[in-house]
Amino acid sequence: MRGEDLLRDSGLRATSIRVRVLEAVVDASGALAQAEILDRVQEQGDADRVSVYRALDALVERHLVVRTSGPDRSYRYCSGDAGACAHSHFYCSRCGAMRCLPPGAFTLDSDLLPEDSVVDRIEMRVEGLCGDCRMKKTHE
């Protein structure tokens, strides 16, 4: 099982709740809010909220899951293997969907950074309308 292998490689014990949380995030087409992850995990069987959120925190700590800030001060979560460093997102301001962009979507000119600084993480959010919402808008 994919989720179990990822967990084992990270040194985290592969409890069933962690596997289910990780797989919900990996299988998603974009970055999910906490409540969406909870819904998906609960669809697979019983899981209490606290355990799900605690498992999510553990996965973020091990970089299996990337936490990024959403537009509404809530966090969104997506798979760590989408490229942890230059990982940016497209956010649809109408339906709230948040898609992961490939690492090459933006490049950073390191010559423009403050002298002697080092980058751990880049967080960038592009906002607009997704294709579905654009189509709907033109038909209204």
Q: Which residues within the stretch 21-40 sit at the binding site for Zn ion (CB under 5 A)?
A: 31
133 binds Zn ion (CB under 5 A): yes
CB of 40 to Zn ion, least distance (A): 16
- Decide whether 60 or 82 has the Cβ nearer to Zn ion: 82
Q: Which residues within the stretch 38-77 sit at the binding site for Zn ion (CB under 5 A)?
A: none
- Decide whether 94 or 121 has the Cβ nearer to Zn ion: 94
Q: Which DSSP symbol is given to 72?
A: T
Choice from 21, 32, 78, 86 touching Zn ion (CB under 5 A)? 78
DSSP per position, 11-41: T----HHHHHHHHHHHHSSSPEEHHHHHHHH
DSSP per position, 35-62: HHHHHHHHHTS---HHHHHHHHHHHHHT
130 binds Zn ion (CB under 5 A): yes
92 assigned to a ligand binding site: yes
DSSP run (H or E) holding 10? helix 2-10
Choice from 35, 85, 95, 135 touching Zn ion (CB under 5 A)? 95
78 assigned to a ligand binding site: no
CA gap 128, 4 in Å, rounded: 36
